Every structure is written in structure tokens, then in C-alpha cells.
Chains A and B, each alone.
With several copies, the nearest count.
Chain A
Amino acid sequence: MVAPPKQPIPGTHLFDGEAAAKGLALNAMCYSFNDAANRAAFLADEEAYCAKYHLTAEQRAAVAARDVIGMIRAGDNIYYLAKLAGIFGLNVQDVGSMQTGASLAAFNEMLAAQGRGETYETAHREMTHG
């Protein structure tokens, strides 16, 4: 018998079977972006490209809104998502800033604070409350 479900980890969305089943169409689209021609096709006609991959309404809305947390909630995996983010010119700090709701500068400062020995909890509190 599989162990009972674990305690959720705050701010963390495990890419498990449930997410994988939900996110398949969006992940398939993002996986296609390994190919430069597909990235160009997406940029040329985002609507048509998303339609071709049969994104769910939730997935399409999240992509249209460049809503990273929305994509994650819709089952996107960060490794595939990163390829879409690349098309938008977003790096992992940009993506971090979008997900935490902090400015890019504040997010980077939160990383740097950990580099100076602050715990994540402290650095995160400072980012959130100034």
C-alpha cells in the first residue's frame, strides 16, 4: 500500500500524475518549442498555434495572460514552461518575480540576501513586506 498523502509544501506544486494528466496538451506545446521553427510559428500566430495543440480554456487563458502560476496550476511543468518563457524573453528570475508577485529587483534582492546568509524565510519576508 502506497504511503498516505504527504503534507502539502507551501508555495509548491508537485508535478505528479494529476498535474501531468491535466497539463498534457500545454506541455506538448511547450516541448515543441525545442524547435526554432515552432517558436517562430507560435510568435507569428499564437492563437492558431495554441489551437493546434488543443489547449484547455484554462491553459489558453494562462498563456494569453503570460500568467506563470496559472500555467503551473493548469498542469504545466516548469522545464517545459521554461521554453515558452524563453520565447517571451523571460529568464528564471523574471519567472520567479512573476510567480512571487515581487518586482524583479525585489526578487533578485531576495536571492542575494540568501547569499549573504539570510534564511529563505527571512529573505522572503523582507521581499514581501519591503
Chain B
Amino acid sequence: MAEIVGAYFTSHVPAIGGAIHKGIQQEPYWKPFFDGFPKVHEWLAEVKPTVAVVFNNDHGLNFFLDKMPTFAVGAAHEYQNADEGWGLPLYKPFKGDPGLSWHIIEQLVDDEFDITTCQTMLVDHALSIPFELAWPGVDEWPVKLVPLHINTVQHPLPSAKRALAFGRSVHRALASWGADERIVVIGTGGLSHQLDGERAGFMNSDYDRFCMDHLASDPDALTKHDVHEIVRLAGTQGVEILNWIAARGALGAGAREIHRNYHLPISNTAAATMLLDPA
């Protein structure tokens, strides 16, 4: 049987990729953010995951408005990173785990989630940057990947309540997966930030702390705000907290916070990194 070894959460701001590319992680602007990662590396070395189940959101690379899913599940043998329009260097390909993908898909449809399945799927910085932060400079990613996508682009978005239920359904699938794998759950994006509109530059550390304080112990607390309220509190792109909420659901009922780093600003974003153990 598979074992869920824990959950890793991090912001995925594109500029982080730029900083890594330039090797300026120790410069004063970046150090407080990258200082959150030695602990992540230690933890990963200890829990030794073999598969990553990643909740993230596409930023206009794989999905367009012709077919914009609420929830999508990748079921590919391999996932490629691709140019997002900025001509940045591409990340290594990601090996898939189609068996686990289809097992999750069966569970989700059985639990009445109306997912879109993707036998081919490009992944963007929302996935590649958390991987590069977790396993910097490796020749090959040490985990297989099942990517799950949540619509944070076009309203109506799924509610936080629905996102948590989605994650909990994924948990049921992971808990019954027969393969001998060590599964790390990953949630990416956030925390508070707003890129568009006259309120661009908005961040809100009060709300961010509320989310981080309740993530392990009481994730249902994060579902008391509807999406409109989350936009008000977290910013238009701060709705990426939905990825964290779903990932928290996938970890299982109990959880214990073992690491937290929070620093702002990183680009226009309040950046955070957390680790949770199952409990």
C-alpha cells in the first residue's frame, strides 16, 4: 500500500525562477525567502517521496477559454514544461504516474466530481518552480507526478468548500492506492497578491496568517469565506489559496505543522512555504 508522507506548500512566483536562474538566492532581497528551503530539503531527504500529487493552477499555458475546466486531472506518461511567453529556459520533463492518475480519476467521478481528464498536459511555473525549489539542480526529478489543476482564472471559481472536498476525495484515492509508493502532496501558489486593476500590489498578511494558522489544525475554517470574499481578502490572484486548501484535504484528516516561512514582498506577492506531517 502507498503511504502519504506529508504535504509541502509554496508560492510559485515566476520571479523566483529568475532568481534561481541568476543564482542570486543569497542576495538580501531573496535570502529571506530561500531561507525557508533548507528545512524543506532535510524533510524531503527524510520522508523520501516517490510520487508527488500536485494541486496547482494553469496560467494560460495549457488551458484557454475555449475549454476552461473547474478541476482537471493529468493522466499522462510524461509532462512537459513549455515557453509561457517570456522565453525563459525550460525545466526538465516530469515523469507521470498514469496508473495513480486513473485511480484518482475513478475515485473523483465516483464521489461526483465532474473533472476534466488530460492525457496530455503542459505544466507551467506553478509546478516547475515548486519542484526546482524542492530539488534544486537535480539531473532528474526524484518523484513521479500527478498534476491536478484548479480554475483560478475565470469566475465563477469553485468555492473553498468545494476545493477542500475535492482534495478529500483525492485523499480517499491515495489512501486506497495499492502500489508501494511514498506520496507527497503539494499545494502551490499564493499567498495574498493582486496583479491586475488599480488595487495592484495589494497584500494582506492578516488573512495569510489566518490561513497558515488554520491550515494544519482546522482547514474547514478556510472555507468560511466565499470566493468573492477571498478575492477581497487575498487579492485577485490570492485565490490560489484554493490549491493549498485542496492539497490540505488530500493530506488526510489530521495534520501537524512542522515548518513555516513567510516573507513579503517577493515580486508583488506575500510568499510562504510550509510543511505538514500527517497526524
A: interface residue count bin: 35 or more
Within 8 A of A (CB), among B196-241: 196-205, 226, 228, 231-232, 236-237
B236 contacts A78, CB within 8 Å? Answer: yes
CB-contact partner of B60 in A9, A31, A114, under 8 A:
A31
| A12-B231, A34-B83 known; A96+B64 contact, CB < 8 A | no
B188 interface residue per 8 A CB criterion: no
A83 contacts B86, CB within 8 Å? Answer: yes
B84 interface residue per 8 A CB criterion: yes
B85 contacts A33, CB within 8 Å? Answer: yes
| A13-B196, A110-B201 known; A92+B268 contact, CB < 8 A | yes
Interface centre among B82, B156, B200 (most CB of A within 10 A): B200
CB distance from A102 to the nearest CB of B (A): 9
Task: Identify whether the interface residues of B are mostly helix, strand, loop, or mixed.
Answer: loop
B119 contacts A21, CB within 8 Å? Answer: yes
- Residues of B contacting A35 with CB < 8 Å? 83
How far apart sit A25 and B156, CA to CA, in the bound complex (Å)? 20
Interface centre among B120, B194, B202 (most CB of A within 10 A): B202
A11 contacts B197, CB within 8 Å? Answer: yes
Within 8 A of A (CB), among B59-114: 59-61, 64-65, 75, 77, 82-87, 98, 101-103, 105-107, 110
Within 8 A of B (CB), among A1-58: 1-3, 6, 9-18, 20-21, 24, 27-28, 30-31, 33-36, 39
- Residues of A contacting B75 with CB < 8 Å? 17, 20-21
B198 contacts A34, CB within 8 Å? Answer: no
B253 interface residue per 8 A CB criterion: no
A120 contacts B153, CB within 8 Å? Answer: no
B176 interface residue per 8 A CB criterion: yes
B264 contacts A114, CB within 8 Å? Answer: yes
How far apart sit A6 and B231, CA to CA, in the bound complex (Å)? 11
B195 interface residue per 8 A CB criterion: yes
How many pairs of residues, A versus B, come closer than 8 Å at their CB atoms?
163
CB-contact partner of A115 in B65, B102, B265, under 8 A:
B265
User: Who on chain A is nearest to B120 by CB?
Assistant: A24
- Residues of A contacting B199 with CB < 8 Å? 9-12
B203 contacts A96, CB within 8 Å? Answer: no
A80 contacts B60, CB within 8 Å? Answer: yes
How far apart sit A93 and B203, CA to CA, in the bound complex (Å)? 14
How far apart sit A72 and B196, CA to CA, in the bound complex (Å)? 8
B231 contacts A20, CB within 8 Å? Answer: no
B83 contacts A14, CB within 8 Å? Answer: no
B102 contacts A96, CB within 8 Å? Answer: no
- 11 new A-B contacts, CB < 8 A, other than A96-B200, A115-B263, are A6-B228, A11-B198, A16-B154, A28-B65, A34-B84, A36-B87, A82-B60, A92-B268, A93-B268, A120-B204, A124-B201
The 6 closest A-B pairs by CB, nearest first: A11-B199, A83-B85, A17-B102, A11-B198, A78-B196, A96-B200
Provide a sorted-by-A list of 6 A–B residue pairs whose CB atoms are within 8 angstroms.
Answer: A30-B60, A83-B85, A86-B87, A111-B264, A117-B205, A124-B201
Which B residues fall within an 8 A CB radius of A?
15, 59-61, 64-65, 75, 77, 82-87, 98, 101-103, 105-107, 110, 117, 119-120, 153-156, 172-173, 176, 194-205, 226, 228, 231-232, 236-237, 263-265, 267-268, 270
